[in-house]
Amino acid sequence: MQTLSQIKEVLATRGLAPKKSLGQNFLVDHNLLKRLVDSANVQAGDLVLEVGPGTGALTDCLLDADATVIACELDDGLADLLLERYADRAERFSLIRGDCLASKHQLSPALHKALDDRTFKLVANLPYGAASPLMVLLCAHERCLGQFVTIQREVAQRVMAKPNSRDYSELSVLVQAMCEVERIATLPPQCFWPQPKVTSEMISIVPRDRNLAEFAALESLCHALFTKRRKQLGAILGHDIVWPDGIAPTMRPEQLTVQQLTRLARTTTSSKLK
């Protein structure tokens, strides 16, 4: 497993440095890297998606667990480094250059082709910019068996937030509607290089019985509601709908539980959203 001095040396040799614009803060705590892999219960033969592998510290752990890794790296310099580093393990390591997402609602064509309709787990120290849309997308991906990720605490709080709290949001509802979320560990800035200015969280997102057919309706509803979260439901949706039991048009979006929003989504259509 790579040490911090080794990471610095290999980057310096190639004239590379962490890019703040890409959210490159490399997780260098070996115990936490191992804990993430253990929490994901990575077994020999598992297919693992790693987004933002950096210099390969987590990749080493995944390959040592005999997983097959598809890595997605946006930074060309790091992509070259990774291809060279794992040239002798090409049968279990493949690399997608570029963004993991084609849009907020779709994986990149190259990544979609690489996954090839196989079941997989996401195990990653996620770059900040990709975290929220990728997590939501994979919650509704029928082949994704779970997500085990390190993200900024601010994002983790939104993922795990409950109704009537400041952090409760569209992200909270969409993730919790499809999956069980648990905190694995809290990571202070000292666990990373370079050190970020914020604390991070390691969380697991494991699917339960998902109703994928209803997800699009719930997503449309949540987007409409939480962009106007201070308004009453009736003012956002109109009053000509049948309100499910326990939901009144005078309520505000942040007051509704995930279960209530799911029921409300069944009675509304995107054509009624204002």
Per-residue pLDDT tens for 54-67? 999 999 999 999 99
Looking at the fold, whether 191 and 87 belong to one and the same domain comes out as yes
From 210, 240, 255, give the residue that closes a domain: 210
Looking at the fold, whether 230 and 204 belong to one and the same domain comes out as no
Residue 258 to residues 60, 113, 138, Cα–Cα distance (Å): 38, 33, 18
Looking at the fold, whether 193 and 231 belong to one and the same domain comes out as no
How many structural domains compose the chain?
2
From 157, 181, 210, give the residue that closes a domain: 210
Is pLDDT larger for residue 13 or for residue 271? 13
Looking at the fold, whether 86 and 181 belong to one and the same domain comes out as yes
The CATH number of the domain holding residue 25 is 3.40.50.150
| pLDDT attached to residue 196 | 94
pLDDT mean over 74-102: 97
Domain residue limits at 193:
4-210
**pLDDT tens per residue across span 187-228:** 999 999 999 999 999 999 999 977 888 899 999 999 999 999
Looking at the fold, whether 191 and 227 belong to one and the same domain comes out as no
- Measure the CA dihedral 185/189/191/194, to 10°: 140
pLDDT category of residue 128 using cuts at 50, 70 and 90: confident
Predicted model pTM: 0.94
| pLDDT attached to residue 113 | 97
Is residue 23 scored above 90 in pLDDT? Answer: no
pLDDT category of residue 270 using cuts at 50, 70 and 90: very low
| pLDDT attached to residue 16 | 96
From 172, 192, 210, give the residue that closes a domain: 210
Is residue 179 scored above 80 in pLDDT? Answer: yes
Looking at the fold, whether 199 and 227 belong to one and the same domain comes out as no
Looking at the fold, whether 126 and 229 belong to one and the same domain comes out as no
| pLDDT attached to residue 269 | 58
Is residue 18 scored above 50 in pLDDT? Answer: yes
pLDDT category of residue 274 using cuts at 50, 70 and 90: very low
Looking at the fold, whether 260 and 171 belong to one and the same domain comes out as no
Looking at the fold, whether 206 and 229 belong to one and the same domain comes out as no
Residue 111 to residues 84, 96, 115, 249, Cα–Cα distance (Å): 20, 7, 6, 42
| pLDDT attached to residue 203 | 98
- DSSP code of 272? G
Looking at the fold, whether 232 and 155 belong to one and the same domain comes out as no
**Which parts of the chain are beta strand (E)?**
26-27, 47-51, 68-73, 93-97, 101-103, 106-107, 120-125, 144-152, 179-187, 192-193, 200-207
For the chain, percent of residues with pLDDT exceeding 90: 89
Looking at the fold, whether 172 and 234 belong to one and the same domain comes out as no
Looking at the fold, whether 34 and 59 belong to one and the same domain comes out as yes
| pLDDT attached to residue 271 | 41
| pLDDT attached to residue 78 | 98
The CATH number of the domain holding residue 236 is 1.10.8.100
